[in-house]
Amino acid sequence: MSVTTAPPPPVRRRGRPGRTQFRTSLAGLGFMAPFLVVFALVFLAPLAYSIYLSLFRDQLIGGNSFVGFENYLQAFGDPKFWDGALRVAIFLVVQVPVMLVLALVAALALDSGRLHGSSFFRIGIFLPYAVPAVVAVLMWGFMYSERLGLAGNINSFVGFDLVTPFTQQWILVAIGNIVTWSFVGYNMLIFYSALRTISPDLYEAAGLDGAGQFRILWSIKIPALRGAIVIATIFSIIGSFQLFNEPNILKTIVPNLIPTYFTPNMYAYNLSFVGQQYNYAATIAIIMGLITAIIAYVVQLRGNRKELS
Amino acid sequence: MSLFIIYSLLPLVWLFINSTKTQADLISTFGLWFSGDFVFFENVAQTLTYDNGIFVRWLGNTLLYVVLGAGGATLLATLGGYGLAKYNFPGKKAIFAVILGAVAVPGTALAVPTFLMFSQLGLTNTIWAIIIPSLISPFGLYLIWVYAADSVPTEILEAARVDGASELRTFFTISIRLLAPGIVTVALFAIVATWNNYFLPLIMLSEPNLFPLTIGLQQWNLQGTGVGADPIFNLVLTGSLLTIVPIVVAFLLLQRFWQSGLSAGGVKQ
């Protein structure tokens, strides 16, 4: 979150060396300690263990042995891995912009103040965020179904197969729709909160200068949103690369359409919990983690550079 | 905007309508309107009693995970964020850098090794496998950090110090009140994260008695497919509805708090 945000100003402390300073710095550490202990246990230790695992391999002969970067080489030549990676990349390039633009439009409409019952709209659009992925997928899965759901109703109404979410070419779109539905309100809220921090004085000054609505949007609102957009983009990128819940749950409804390596995350999951290939699964996870971190970093750099120019 | 709201609420309306239908009507009648027998209450009763009331058990588990996991996460984030905002201590910058760096690593990379570690510690298939990882909310830590820097004046802390109050006492009597909206926001998002948690229990638990609602519902849904299918789709839908009601109510009731907490904290420039 704070990657793009300047840290709050440091605590100003009058020059009072000695006991008090020692006491407060001990207290600061004390407040941090519980978080740090658990953090080390559930973040740092598994991360280190993951890297360790990726450098070994269970072999028929010789048992568990150090293989250096062999697992990584195997992953780079693994068509199943690339298939999943390409799929989430396509998903990222299409779904994330669609979702963020929708969220932006909704936030600007809410902020324009010309909308009656804006708090109803705000909470209504945000509500899907509170729905667990499992329920979201079950709901949409039923609605997509040509036998049980709305898709079937629509098709029998028009008399031919107009809506067919459960086909090879539409399944990724179907998943994209579920993800968009779940998170568009969350992103809208991020944008909306950023818009609310704009001082009314600015609008007034712009009005005096004779700026129109479009000019205000372009010169005041969009620049004010830049940080929020960067944050939302980074979150969405991480989410896309981690895509797991939606396809994995949908797989139980349409097992034939979604292979076990549909996304890299599903591939890693199936490798370790179905195939017991822990070392290779850890390798896949680390590669995806690195790719995600690099792309998120680049987005952040670009976002910040624009801010300077 | 009306299109937006229809898009957002339509699935929920659909869910409610279809939780009033029998399994047969679910298939044979139009999905977006009430028709056939109205069996909502029968469905609820059946959901709660099916398989010796396992759904109630799952609900209880979910509540336990939420209270301990999200409650603990909120406490740790509040203490830590406050410590970061209001105290200087050696290694503060390094600590913050490490936390940020680790957050950039996707959860995927951690799932497998966490599972292996926990299984060696004998923690898999226990409630701790769910609760301990839920205790960390880096987003919550960050939110409180920004919030505390703004809303707890350093002068008050200095004054309390001069009066001889201990740091912990100052925190619990003064600071915690000033932090309240931030704490509610962090708690609410931690509750949602724990309530909706799917991946973690999926890998950690194999004992149905420990399942949270999310995994349980998925299990029921699985019953309807494959060999020897025994579909209970009406219960899956009614169960889904019952699962989202408490969380939706929590969001609606605490609206005022989390909206102000969010605009003051996480997304501030």
B18 chain-A contacts, CB cut-off 8 A = 142
Which position has the higher pLDDT, A279 or A4?
A: A279
The per-residue pLDDT for A277 is 84
Provide the pLDDT for residue A11: 52
Is A130 in Cβ contact with B192 (below 8 Å)? yes
Residues A220 and A169 in one domain: yes
CB contact under 8 A, B192 and A129: yes
Nearest CB among B75, B116, B199 relative to A244 is that of: B199
Q: What are the pLDDT digits (tens) for B207-266?
A: 889 999 999 988 888 877 666 667 778 888 888 899 999 888 888 887 777 666 666 544
Question: Quick check: B195 pLDDT over 80?
Answer: yes
CA atoms within 13 A on the CB side of A205: 7
Residues 67-106, chain A, touching B (beta carbon < 8 A): 102, 106
The ipTM, to two decimals, is: 0.83
What pLDDT is stored for residue A85 in this prediction?
92
Please answer whether residues B99 and A32 qualify as being in contact, where contact means their C-beta atoms are separated by less than 8 angstroms: no
Chain B environment of A296 (Cβ under 8 Å):
104
> What is the distance in angstroms between the Cα of A201 and the nearest Cα belonging to chain B?
18
Confidence of residue B45 (pLDDT cuts 50, 70, 90): confident
Residue numbers of A between 54 and 73 with CB closer than 8 Å to B:
none
Distance from CA of A207 to the nearest CA of B (A): 24
Looking at A8-17, A107-116, A119-128, which range is the least confident one? A8-17
pLDDT score recorded for residue A273:
81
Contact between residue B69 and residue A261 where contact means Cβ atoms under 8 Å apart: no
Q: Report the CATH number that the domain containing residue A224 is assigned in CATH.
A: 1.10.3720.10
Spell out which residues of chain A touch residue B89, defining contact as CB-CB under 8 Å: 24-26, 28-29, 32
Tell me how far apart the alpha carbons of residues A132 and A178 are, in angstroms, rounded to a whole number: 11
Q: Which residue has the tokens 């890693």?
A: A268
Given its phi and psi angles, is residue A199 left (phi above 0), alpha (psi -120 to 50 degrees) or beta?
A: beta
Indicate yes or no: CB of B26 within 8 angstroms of CB of A238: no
What's the whole-number mean pLDDT along residues A153-178?
78
Instruction: Give the pLDDT confidence score for residue A251 in this predicted structure.
Output: 86
The DSSP annotation for A121-182 comes to HHHHHHGGGGS-HHHHHHHHHHHH-TTTSHHHHHHHHHTS-----SSTTTHHHHHHHHHHHH
Does A156 score more than 90 pLDDT? no
Q: What is the mean pLDDT of residues A22-27?
A: 80
Listed in sequence order, the DSSP H helices in chain B are 2-18, 23-28, 40-65, 71-86, 92-103, 107-120, 128-134, 138-151, 154-162, 167-170, 176-178, 180-195, 199-204, 213-222, 233-253, 255-264
* B189 in any annotated domain: yes
The answer to whether residues A178 and A235 belong to one domain is yes
Flag whether pLDDT at A215 surpasses 90.
no
Phi-psi label, residue A7: left if phi above 0, alpha if psi -120 to 50, beta otherwise: beta
Q: In three state form, how does the secondary structure of B161-229 look?
A: HHCCCCHHHHHHHHHHHHCHHHHHHHHHHHHHHHHCCCHHHHHHCCCHHHCCHHHHHHHHHHCCCCCCC
Can you give the pLDDT at residue A15? 47
Q: Are residues A53 and A123 in the same domain?
A: no
pLDDT tens-digit readout, A113-151? 766 777 788 888 888 998 888 889 988 888 887 766 677
d(CA A131, CA B254): 16
In chain B the first and final C-alpha atoms are separated, in Å, by 27
Both tokens of A59, joined, read 């072999």
Q: Which of A20, A25, A296 sits opposite B161 (nearest CB)?
A: A20
Q: Does some domain include residue B6?
A: no
Both A220 and A255 in a single domain? yes
**Contact (Cβ atoms closer than 8 angstroms) between residue A245 and residue A252:** no
Answer whether residue B269 shows pLDDT above 50: no
Could you say which residues from 238 to 257 on chain A have a Cβ atom under 8 Å away from some Cβ of chain B?
Answer: 238, 241-242, 244-245, 249, 252-253, 255
User: How far from each other are the two terminal CA atoms of chain A, in whole angstroms?
Assistant: 23
Q: Which of B137, B133, B128 is nearest to B74 (CA)?
A: B137
Average pLDDT over residues A264-292: 86
Dig out the tokens for B46 from the structure.
């059946």
State whether A91 and A119 are in the same domain.
Answer: yes
CA-CA distance, B210 to A196, in Å (whole number)? 43
Beta bridge partners of A57: A65
Q: CA–CA separation, A203 vs A210, rounded Å? A: 10
| Pairing mode of beta strands A63-66, A56-59 | antiparallel
Most confidently modeled range among A1-5, A9-13, A76-80: A76-80
What is the predicted pLDDT for the residue at A306? 55
Which residues are bridge partners to A65 per DSSP? Answer: A57
Residue B113, pLDDT score: 82
Neighbouring residues of A241: CB distance < 8 A, sequence distance ≥ 6: A88, A92, A264, A265, A288, A291, A292, A295, B106
Bridge partner list, A59: A63
A15 touches chain B (CB under 8 A): no
Query: In the predicted model, is pLDDT for residue A308 greater than 50?
Result: no
Residue A259: inside a domain: yes
Which residue of chain B comes nearest to A223, CA vs CA? B269
Contact between B111 and A269 using a beta-carbon 8 Å cutoff:
yes
DSSP string, A250-298: HHHHSTTTS-TTSSHHHHHHHHHHTS--HHHHHHHHHHHHHHHHHHHHH
Q: What's the CA gap between B234 and B43, in Å, rounded?
A: 7
- B268 found inside a domain: no
Question: A9: pLDDT confidence band, cut at 50, 70 and 90?
Answer: low
Kindly list the distances between the CA atom of residue A13 and the CA atoms of A16, A17, B146, B154, in Å, as whole numbers in the listed order: 8, 10, 18, 9
Q: CB under 8 Å to B152, separation ≥6 — which residues?
A: B82, B85, B86, B174, B175, B178, B179
Confidence class for position A3, pLDDT limits 50, 70, 90: very low
Q: Mean pLDDT over all residues of chain B?
A: 83
Confidence grade of residue A5 (pLDDT, cut at 50, 70, 90): very low
The predicted-structure confidence for A167-202, as pLDDT tens digits, reads as follows 777 889 989 999 999 999 889 988 888 887 777 788
Q: What is the number of domains present in chain B?
A: 1
Measure in Å the smallest separation between the Cα of B96 and chain A Cα atoms: 10
What's the pLDDT tens digit per position in B52-96?
888 899 999 999 999 999 999 999 999 999 998 888 888 888 887
Q: Say yes or no: A104 and A38 in one domain.
A: no
Most confident of A289-293, B42-46, B192-196: B192-196
For residues B95 and A134, give the distance between their C-alpha atoms in angstroms, rounded to a whole number.
35
Tell which phi-psi region holds residue B136, choosing left (phi > 0), alpha (psi between -120 and 50) or beta. beta
* Same structural domain, A35 and A149: no
- By CA distance, what is A284's nearest residue in B? B109
Q: Are residues A59 and A82 in the same domain?
A: no
Residue A303 scores a pLDDT above 90:
no
Among B20, B220, B145, B152, which residue's Cα sits nearest to residue A5? B145
pLDDT (0 to 100) of residue A228? 83
Predicted confidence at residue A162, as pLDDT, reads 67
Please check whether residue B94 lies inside any domain of the structure: yes
Classify residue B1: in a domain, yes or no. no
Closest partner CB to B11 (pick from A123, A181, A285) = A181
pLDDT tens digit string along B95-138? 877 776 666 666 666 777 888 889 888 998 999 999 999 998 88
User: Average pLDDT over chain A, rounded to whole?
Assistant: 82
Enumerate the residues of chain A whose CB falls inside 8 A of the CB of residue B117: 45-46, 49
Do A130 and A173 lie in a common domain? yes
Q: Looking at the partner chain, which of A148, A269, A285 has a beta carbon nearest the beta carbon of B109?
A: A285
Considering the domain architecture, whether residues A221 and A298 belong to the same structural domain is answered as yes
Please give the structure tokens belonging to residue A175: 């998943």
Q: Which residues of B touch A190 (CB under 8 A)?
A: 266-267
Tokens of B31: 């999905």
Query: How many beta-carbon contacts under 8 Å exist across A and B?
Result: 298
Give me the residues of A, 272-291, that contact B with CB < 8 A: 272-273, 278, 281-282, 285-286, 288-289
Structural domain count of chain A = 2
Residue B258: phi and psi, rounded to 5, are -70, -30
pLDDT band at residue A305 using 50, 70 and 90 as cut-offs: low
H/E run at residue A56: strand A56-59
- pLDDT for A84 equals 92
Q: For residue A75, give how far its alpha carbon lies from the nearest alpha carbon of chain B (Å).
A: 15
The single residue listed with the structure tokens 């280190």 is: A48
**Residue A31 and residue B83 in contact, taking contact as beta carbons nearer than 8 Å:** yes
Are A119 and A127 a contacting pair, CB within 8 Å?
no
pLDDT, residue A71, reads 87
Domain that holds residue A52: 27-66
Using CA coordinates, name the residue in chain A closest to B259.
A193
pTM beyond 0.90, yes or no: no
Does A212 share its domain with A179? yes
Q: Which of A66, A94, A114 is the last residue of a domain?
A: A66
Q: Does A22 touch chain B (CB under 8 A)?
A: no
Phi, psi for residue A59 in degrees, rounded to 5: -115, 155
- Is A121 part of any domain? yes
Average pLDDT over residues A15-39: 79
What CATH number does the domain containing B187 carry? 1.10.3720.10
Confidence check: pLDDT of A13 > 60 = no
User: What six digits make up the tokens of B126?
Assistant: 């226990």
The rounded percent of chain B whose pLDDT value lies above 90 is 17
Residue B266 lies in a domain: no
Give the domain range for residue B101.
13-47+59-261
